[in-house]
Amino acid sequence: MLALIEITPWHYAGFVLCVLLFLALDLGVLHRGAHVVSFREAFIWTGVWFTLAMIFAVALIPLRGREEATEFATGYLIELSLSMDNVFVIALIFSYFRVAPEHQHRVLFWGIMGALVMRGLMIWLGAELVARFHWVLYVFGAFLLFTGVKMLFANEEGVQPEKNPCLRLARKYFPVSPGFHGPRFTIRQGGRLMLTPLALVLVVVETTDLVFALDSIPAIFAITDKPFIVFTSNVFAILGLRSLYFVLAGAIGYFRYLKYGLSLVLVFIGGKMLVEKWVHLPIDWSLLIVVAILLTAIAASVIAARREKK
Q: Which residues of 68-101 are buried (b: 16+ CB within 10 A; e: fewer)?
A: bbbbbbbbbbbbbbbbbbbbbbbbbbbeebebee
Examine residue 46 and state whether it is found in any structural domain, yes or no: yes
Examine residue 201 and state whether it is found in any structural domain, yes or no: no
Confidence label for 56 from pLDDT (cuts 50, 70 and 90): very high
Contact 111, 206 (CB under 8 A): yes
CB-side neighbour CA atoms (13 Å) of 30: 13
Examine residue 60 and state whether it is found in any structural domain, yes or no: yes
The rounded radius of gyration (Å) of the Cα atoms in the chain is 20
Taking the model in full, what pTM does it have? 0.82
Q: Tell me: the pLDDT tens digits for 201-250?
A: 999 888 888 877 777 788 888 888 888 998 999 889 888 887 788 777 66
Examine residue 169 and state whether it is found in any structural domain, yes or no: no
Whole-angstrom Cα distance, residue 173 to residue 171? 6
Domains: count for the chain: 1
Examine residue 21 and state whether it is found in any structural domain, yes or no: no
Residues of the domain holding 290: 27-156+210-309
Q: Tell me: the pLDDT tens digits for 113-157?
A: 888 888 888 888 888 888 888 888 888 888 888 888 887 776 655
Confidence label for 3 from pLDDT (cuts 50, 70 and 90): low
Considering only CA atoms, which of 9, 2, 8, 13 is closest in space to residue 65?
2
Whole-angstrom Cα distance, residue 82 to residue 299? 17
Examine residue 10 and state whether it is found in any structural domain, yes or no: no
Contact 202, 107 (CB under 8 A): yes
Examine residue 189 and state whether it is found in any structural domain, yes or no: no
Q: Tell me: the pLDDT tens digits for 264-275?
A: 888 888 888 888
What per-residue confidence (pLDDT) applies to 35?
Answer: 63
Examine residue 40 and state whether it is found in any structural domain, yes or no: yes
Confidence label for 21 from pLDDT (cuts 50, 70 and 90): confident
